[in-house]
Structure 1
Amino acid sequence: MQISAKADYAVRALLELAADSERPLTCEGIASAQDIPFRFLKSVFQDMRKAGLVRSQRGCEGGYWLGRDADLISVAEVMAAVDGEFFTLRGLRPDVLAYPGVAGGLPELWRSVEAAAYDVLARTTLAALARRDTVARPSSPAVTA
């Protein structure tokens, strides 16, 4: 399974927005913070805006905010917003595949892989990922009892 650069960039950009919900963030600032090509990120934001994942405001005080609470946005939803179909094999959905002979059972494997991956990504929200990041990088020394 391959995750597209577009999906990776979209999730990383939304995590930046989830981490700083006090003010709008610029596309330039997010691109710089995540080392993402700015022009590419702008097109990703267009897709995310159409999907309602972000909202924007123009002007010198403008930028982007999450379209709704980070607890309500799953990674699977982000991937679908920027890539379209969640899982394809040679451009086809696994549920329409049929192979002859000894390979006849293979489409069921692909459907199982899709279901398992979708389950993990649908259960993982931006808020959960943001919490993992704060756990991974403590801001103060650990206190032991």
Structure 2
Amino acid sequence: MPSNAKDVQVKLVTEIRDEDERQTMEVTESGQFFQRGDTQVLTFTEHPDEGDAIKTMVTVKPNHVSIKRSGGVEMRQVFQKGLETENLYHHTYGDFHMRTFTEELEFLSLEEAPVGKLSLKYEMTLNHEVTQAHRLTLTFEEES
């Protein structure tokens, strides 16, 4: 980690809406946050109840967010407001093609506020079949 890395507490809330159903997942982990130029990076490791740990790296640049996950799942998802991106999601149960259209992208850095926040609203289509509305909210604050 770079010398300017800060230890942070991370809370990730993902909400998926599919017609009448709503599913919410919440993860709280310790992580690291650092900035290099106009790029800000947040890393943490998820420890799911089942399966292997998942390392997550969130990279934020102006109007561009990339979420890379490795370990129990493998994926790199890119978010750019008003654009559609594609990637593969490698999971224990197989590979899934993902198409993501980003509707909203907002980021507040630890340089701007005591609690950093990433908000994403997007539609994701899995394997060209199922389209669901997603909302991802990631908050992080320096550990004292």
**What's the TM-score bracket when you normalise by the shorter of the two chains?**
under 0.3
Larger radius of gyration: 1
TM-score (norm 2): 0.23
- Judging by fraction of residues, say which structure has more helix: 1
